[in-house]
Amino acid sequence: MDTIIARFYPLFGICLIVMAIGIMGGMLFGTEHIMPELQLANLHPKAEAMPIWPLMFITVACGAVSGFHSTQSPIMARCLKDEHLGRPVFYGAMVAEGIIALIWAAAGVTFYDGTGGLAAAMAKGGPGGAVYDICVGYMGVGIGAVLAMLGVIACPITSGDTAFRSARLTLADWFHIPQQTWDKRLRFAVPLLAIGGILSQVNFNIVWRYFSWTNQTLAMIVLWTGAVYLYRTQENKMASLVAAIPATFMSVVTTTYILQAKEGLELPTVFTYPAGIAFACLFLALFLKTTFLKRDESKEVAQNH
């Protein structure tokens, strides 16, 4: 990754930032489309079937809390020259991605004059068509079209490439098979690409829903793992709460979603909402039992002896 892809990623990153700034400028200084007012109401055209909780955190939380990104962290960490670069690289990328996501969310509802128009455009031309229309509409046919092609084609390809690579390296770590030679890489690459080819024949909307849920579920698991790691390695044991609090929140989100989603159990919200909170409380109780409560019990035993 450091030898090949890292040479192109800065260019892609610059283009994405330029695209976001151009679209933001078109929204703020353009007169053809008026940005809707900020409000807390559910503006989805199918609001009754698409409740904000927990769908919003499954859909838009990828930049802030992402299992996919957690799989990339060990790979990118090996490419850093200094551990201190982790903060600007990882946190900086997450903040930048969050800002870009907010700009695109605002651009979608502004350019198409509301969520209804955006939904109609997505149904007609798909996400790629919407991205192209917005880029060309706000930045012109020249640079707008070029940046749109980059966003629609290059970035998804690199994401897919990175996803398959992380899956291959994860399997290689599990089975303790080095990946320095081509034949050993192909042992995992060929089956993974074959599975990917099969999944590409399925309705992508269905695949994406499962990906979104598994992505956030993996993030939840990694956060709980990080909380335990922080507890065991830091003198200040309260530092573990930095990961335990968002882990608890994402536990509510992921369990609630799979209980009520169409691709899940399709249970009514009157059951899924309290059940999600109950699952999160259970996970938090298990964490406290194996960390803080266990520590107190050890102290009490030591004092008795």
Residue 136 near residue 124 (C-beta atoms within 8 A) = no
The pLDDT of residue 249 is: 93
**41 φψ region: left (φ > 0), alpha (ψ -120 to 50), beta (else):** beta
Cβ neighbours of residue 142 under 8 Å, at least 6 residues apart? none
Res. 301: pLDDT tops 80: no
pLDDT of residue 285: 92
* 216 vs 204: CA distance, rounded Å: 18
User: pLDDT digits over 152-211, tens only?
Assistant: 677 777 777 778 888 888 888 888 888 888 888 898 999 999 988 888 888 777 787 888
Confidence of residue 274 (pLDDT cuts 50, 70, 90): very high
pLDDT at 95: 82
Question: Cβ of 118: how many Cβ atoms within 10 Å?
Answer: 22
For residue range 32-86, list pLDDT tens digits in order. Answer: 777 777 777 777 777 777 788 888 888 776 666 777 777 777 777 777 888 888 8
Cα-based distances in Å from 158 to 15, 191, 276: 14, 19, 35
**pLDDT value of residue 294:** 74
CA neighbours closer than 13 Å in the CB half-sphere of residue 198: 5
Residue 275's pLDDT is 93
Chain segment 187-196, per-residue pLDDT in tens: 899 999 998 8
Average the pLDDT over 247-265 and give the result: 90
Among residues 204, 123, 119, the alpha carbon closest in space to that of 160 is found at 204
Most confident residue range from 18-27, 65-74, 236-245: 236-245
pLDDT of residue 227: 93
**What value does the mean pLDDT of the chain take?**
82
pLDDT at 282 over 90: yes
Instruction: State residue 160's pLDDT score.
Output: 79
- Check residue 2 and give its pLDDT: 63
pLDDT at position 62, please?
Answer: 63
pLDDT for residue 127: 79
